[in-house]
A and B are shown apart, each in its own frame.
Chain A
């Protein structure tokens, strides 16, 4: 029986493995964590429908568990060719094709020191907020309820200063979703979203944006926050330009949420070098083309699915899992 190794056990890897396995192809998933699920395990509800994230990830996990897919947890791939994958313990697994589904890395908000993440209490990231939603403990560090909340879009995206030129695509709609969720939890709070451009690219996203404005009275201010500093009462003072009025603006808030972007994994470069794969300028893997071969690498027998090639939404990642299974099947036959 042919065997395909899927590197990464997130939603892309699981969907790919399931679709290959359904066609009678042997699959091994390599996952660096001690559980399957990847980043989606950290999310609470998904845009734009507020679907619980665990509905998606638990369904996939249950399907993997009841299949014949061989799952190797707690180990990662350090090198690969189209016929083999080398694991971190030195084991070499032979195979007939490899699908790289190793995903992305969240931008480290501490690098944007001017926003004070890791310095001031109550400056948190969008991923921290999802974690708070999951734990059911949303609020200020001292347990209080925020009266004023600011979201900042494009943290670690479209930013030359931190070498992340690309748009992370999903932060815009995440910011709108989380602003609504905060307004639902704290109806008495004022919520402000500081944005540069609002990119509502998916079905239902623009509608969600409109709902945030009309039904939840969320304030959208077009301007990038230049700095956050503590006030004497322990709040945060934020400065920006309100670019639509052309005047500098300052505002004190209780909580600042940074919508952090998706960046490429640090080990993309070494994996690419081991297999002769091409990287995009952003550090993500470069597919053969963006149209008919968007799940194929430049090397026959090595494929991609999910956010290893670029930031993507969960729906797009799942589509790629299905697409790559098709491409691998065609290659093996």
Chain B
């Protein structure tokens, strides 16, 4: 039976549902790179990001979402990174940002 097109659809909620998200994968990532948890969200990484100046890639947002258990699409997002490493020079918390990109790609390749 052909579905009738009513012009309406049901959106998935935008809420970050921490009750539903599984943080174990995020824990694995943070176990390998605990300093990622020290991010103060200053955006120095994103300000200097070559990819982020031309595309909607936002390294700060992606790794923050991963730490909240939002893994969907993180691998694809991190593929936008050109691994130039300027962000790593700027990070005031001394986070190996380029390493974070590689780590998330390695851990979340199947999401």
User: B48 and A243: CB pair below 8 A?
Assistant: no
User: B47 and A223: CB pair below 8 A?
Assistant: yes
CB distance from A59 to the nearest CB of B (A): 39
| In the complex, A166 has a CB within 8 A of chain B | no
How many chain-A residues does the 8 Å CB contact rule pick out? 23
User: B92 and A223: CB pair below 8 A?
Assistant: no
Stretch in B15-23, B52-60, B73-81, B99-107 touching the partner: B52-60
Residues from 54 to 108 in B contacting A, C-beta threshold 8 Å: 58, 60-61, 90-94
Contact flag A223-B43 (CB < 8 Å), given A241-B60, A243-B60: yes
What number of residue pairs across chains A and B have CB atoms under 8 A from each other? 69
How far apart sit A241 and B91, CA to CA, in the bound complex (Å)? 13
User: B44 and A224: CB pair below 8 A?
Assistant: yes
CB neighbours of A161 from chain B (8 A): 90-92, 94
Set B48, B52, B92: member contacting A154, Cβ < 8 A = B92
| In the complex, B41 has a CB within 8 A of chain A | yes
Set A159, A196, A197, A226: member contacting B48, Cβ < 8 A = A226
| In the complex, B26 has a CB within 8 A of chain A | no
CB neighbours of B44 from chain A (8 A): 223-226, 240-241
| In the complex, A249 has a CB within 8 A of chain B | yes
Set A158, A160, A240: member contacting B43, Cβ < 8 A = A240
How far apart sit A241 and B87, CA to CA, in the bound complex (Å)? 12
CB neighbours of A248 from chain B (8 A): 46-47, 49, 52-53
CB neighbours of A222 from chain B (8 A): 43
| In the complex, B10 has a CB within 8 A of chain A | no
CB distance from A118 to the nearest CB of B (A): 19
CB neighbours of B61 from chain A (8 A): 246
How far apart sit A247 and B92, CA to CA, in the bound complex (Å)? 19
| In the complex, B31 has a CB within 8 A of chain A | no
Q: Which 3 residue pairs of A and B lie closest in terms of their CB atoms, listed nearest first?
A: A241-B43, A160-B94, A224-B42
For this complex, 8 residue pairs linking A to B, each with C-beta atoms less than 8 Å apart, are A154-B92, A158-B40, A161-B92, A196-B41, A225-B44, A239-B48, A240-B47, A241-B58
